[in-house]
Structure 1
């Protein structure tokens, strides 16, 4: 990498780091505000609160990092043009490809980071978030649940106890679960005890009743039990059914080998397919963004306004390509035959940008058609401005 390439690389890398930290901070504040209830109403300490908010960031970084690279590339090229450095470089015979080398190197580094998050860090952080959510739910029932107070750990789930024994048993337990619209279940038990086995947690209830209300039946079903166990990780009645991990929590090889004909996997098969292809294609958008910026802003402009307009156009086209890619990924979850479009969108964007860079690699004299269009545009602007300009009055007359 030559002196010029190293100069552009350092400039862009510095801005990239600054923009990434700024966007990450903004996203972290948003996540922290949403998770503030964990600290206030669910009795968790500040350390666990910070860990939860930090674990939510890796998934967001796959969107933040390429956008930060896009903004950094636009800023640096706009600065080079504003300081006339780009004009001097072009006058010295520098092609647009020379700008692409340092920016493409940064794009490769960002793509590798996004791929690492997609395939390793992201699934791990999602699993840790799920485990911590289960721990919080267990801690809420074990320690935070207070006698004679109704507690709602999540929407449509209410807990109440009459008292707590010296051994930690929950006395006079009531748990009302209305999250499933097909049936509303209420558990009433004389005693309850939290049992932990590794990362799993269960609630054992002794001597009580289960009231199950189904919309089609006027009277509730009442079941009497001497002992009943509820899985707190899923809060389901049937603990023998192993919970199915969400696609975001699964490593890539599991998504690749997922069997859509498996009854347990069928409900999430399309989401898993969409997640798989999104992980594979999202690193490409770092290169797409850089190519679009160089195609629009890699040529010297003698008018500052022209380069500003080129920057706005590059940003709009790059974001438009990313939004189209996200839409194609969402379509995969509904229709499996939409998978080709997930890869077609970045591929077409890369090819068009490369063609534009090649066409404008060196300064060219405008063709006859281009000269005609420029002259027509200038004449049209002059004619339109003349319509709004008041003609001077003849001498000796006043308005």
Structure 2
């Protein structure tokens, strides 16, 4: 690699790092606000919020990598064009194919980094995140210790407490249990306590009222109680079985019989095929994104008014190709034999890049073709 190639590659990587950092920060703040409100509102600590944030970063980074690769390519080419660096290079004999070499190497570097994320880091983080979510969902106390809000530990159970005292006493408790289709139960009490009982959790209600509504006779029965214990362990699944999903498995683990894998994780082969091939297609799309930024701007040439029109066109092409990629996901999931469609957006982008670079290298081919037709 020549000195000029190393110079351009260093500029690309520096700007890529800058744009990736900015985009990750923007997306992270947007998601962190929602995550913070949900976790802290459920009674979790700041350390849990920090853990969930770190585990969600690999997936977030994979989202911004193609955009950052495109932005870095466009910024460097635009700056070198406005400062006439590319004009000087072209005047000394460096054609568009020669200038595309450092851009292609830059795209490969980004693709390698994204490959490490998609094949290993993202699935590992997803698996750890799923495990932590399961552990938190089993913590009944954390899900019920939220005052002034109607909570739903399960689909047919509603819990409410007006106030939680400093001594841990729950004031003015309301509990609706509709799990039995033949009757509905409503419990209300002035005070309640959460008591750990081995692996289970019991809600002790004091000075309350129990109401039972029979769905057959449509009769309401009430009974006052001085103290009443209600086992709430069943409200949240306490299963400790390891949950496995395709997106939480590293890529080497997917080199197996997809039929057996689909039966084991209860998922279609189309979903497995889409997940597997998408991990290889995503890094290729980063190369295409970087090359689109270069090819579109180099096709526009030098202009004292700038290359903003070419930048808009390049961004539009990137959005259109990425839109095609999102559309084809459902097609592959419905029919796993159509997995080559996952690579179609990158192929379309590659064809556009080659066509634009060839047009830049042969600017007058259409005019010469018309003259040849007239002369004939």
Q: TM-score, normalised by structure 1?
A: 0.70
2:86, 2:268 → 1: CA distance? 51
Task: Kindly indicate whether residue 10 of structure 2 is the aligned counterpart of residue 10 of structure 1.
Answer: yes
2:275, 2:239 → 1: CA distance? 28
Greater mean alpha carbon deviation, residues 58-67 or residues 44-53: 44-53
| Secondary structure of 1:110 counterpart | helix
Residue pairs, 1:23-102, within 5 angstroms: 23-38=23-38, 40-102=40-102
Residue pairs, 1:1-399, within 5 angstroms: 1-38=1-38, 40-139=40-139, 141=141, 145=145, 152=151, 156=155, 158-159=158-159, 203=200, 230=233, 235-236=236-237, 242=241, 244-257=243-256, 258-259=258-259, 263=263, 265-267=265-267, 269-299=269-299, 301-305=301-305, 307-360=307-360, 362=361, 364-365=363-364, 367-368=366-367
2:183, 2:305 → 1: CA distance? 64
1:218, 1:110 → 2: CA distance? 68
Distance 1:194 1:274, change over 3 A: farther
Question: 1:192: how far off?
Answer: 7.2
Question: 1:327: how far off?
Answer: 1.8
Distance 1:241 1:231, change over 3 A: farther
Q: TM-score, normalised by structure 2?
A: 0.74
Question: 1:354: how far off?
Answer: 2.5
1:219, 1:251 → 2: CA distance? 55
Question: 1:36: how far off?
Answer: 2.1
1:183, 1:83 → 2: CA distance? 79
Structure 1 unaligned spans of 5+: 197-201, 221-225, 373-399
Distance 1:43 1:28, change over 3 A: same
Equivalenced residue count is: 354
1:219, 1:127 → 2: CA distance? 47
1:12, 1:281 → 2: CA distance? 22
Structure 2 unaligned spans of 5+: 205-209, 220-228, 372-376
Contact 1:5 1:101 in 2 (8 A): yes
Greater mean alpha carbon deviation, residues 304-313 or residues 151-160: 151-160
Question: 1:59: how far off?
Answer: 0.8
Question: 1:100: how far off?
Answer: 2.1
The superposition leaves residues 362-394 of structure 1 with CA deviations (integer Å, 9 ceiling, x where unpaired) of 46545426889xxxxxxxxxxxxxxxxxxxxxx
Q: Which structure shows the bigger proportion of residues in helix conformation?
A: 2
The superposition leaves residues 167-218 of structure 1 with CA deviations (integer Å, 9 ceiling, x where unpaired) of x999x9987688x9x9999798x9976589xxxxx535699x9x9999xx89
Distance 1:37 1:336, change over 3 A: same
